[in-house]
Amino acid sequence: MATYCDLHIHSCLSPCADDDMTPWNLVGMARVKGLDVIALTDHNTALNTPEAAAAGEAYGVQVIPGMEVTSREEVHMLGYFPSVREALAAGEEVYAHLPDVKNQPALFGNQIIVGAEDTPSGTLEKLLINATDLSVGEVCDLIRAHGGVPVPAHINRGSNGMIGALGLMPFLPEYPVVEVYPGVACPAYAVKGRFVLHSSDAHRLEDLQERTFTLDALPTAGDVMRLLRAMDGRKSGI
């Protein structure tokens, strides 16, 4: 079954995302775009995933609670979790590994926590776009310890993609699932034998993905997680 997905979306809690990327707005936009399953993946926190899940229930869009963790090598690593509870627990650990540097909203943007009924309930103090002190391997371990699936984000894009940050893409069986940013060249060796995701990395409502990427799964968060976990568990190539 072809399930339309966008598994990399930021909310207004990420300083670099628009303030109108509230959970209800972004889930509503996913509904308008006809997406079946999305993931909310803010930088180094999962605090807006409860409200995204609530919006998903109301709008009939399945939401995977996620996060985009920055390793100390500046690699962006997506984590997809089986439940909001696990995402929040992982997020709390990751946040504790951020340096004690305060966000300056005028410089970096607001970090808005959204509570019930899409109402702002506070802001996060530490600057979320900093790197944690966790190695990329430790980030993977942390995500898996919470039942999650680690996926290197936009491996082919910029200094925060794994290829740019590490200088090369490690070989299998490391990182059996990767995200490749569409429209940017990606060396063939980096994806050979790997399960590849394409997502929007949207920071603005209009940038959410159209119906362009499907996974062979039922249109539920649970079945997409089942597929990702199966792909993450493979020890060899396709």
Q: Which residues are near Zn ion by CB under 5 A?
A: 68, 76, 153, 201
Query: Quick one: 15 or 50, whose CB is closer to Zn ion?
Result: 15
In the complex with Zn ion, the residue whose CB is nearer, 76 or 198, is 76
Minimum CB distance to Zn ion, residue 204 (Å): 12
CB of 190 vs Zn ion, minimal distance in Å = 16
Exposed / middle / buried, residue 40 (Cβ in 10 Å: 0-12, 13-18, 19+) = buried
Q: Which is nearer to Zn ion, 103 or 219 (CB)?
A: 103
Looking at beta carbons only, is 153 or 227 nearer to Zn ion? 153
Kindly state the smallest distance separating residue 206's Cβ from Zn ion, in Å: 16
Give the residue closest to Zn ion by C-beta: 76
Kindly state the smallest distance separating residue 154's Cβ from Zn ion, in Å: 6
Tell me the CA distances in angstroms from 125 to 53, 110, 116, one per residue in order: 24, 10, 20
Q: Which is nearer to Zn ion, 10 or 33 (CB)?
A: 10
Q: Least Å distance between CB 89 and Zn ion?
A: 21
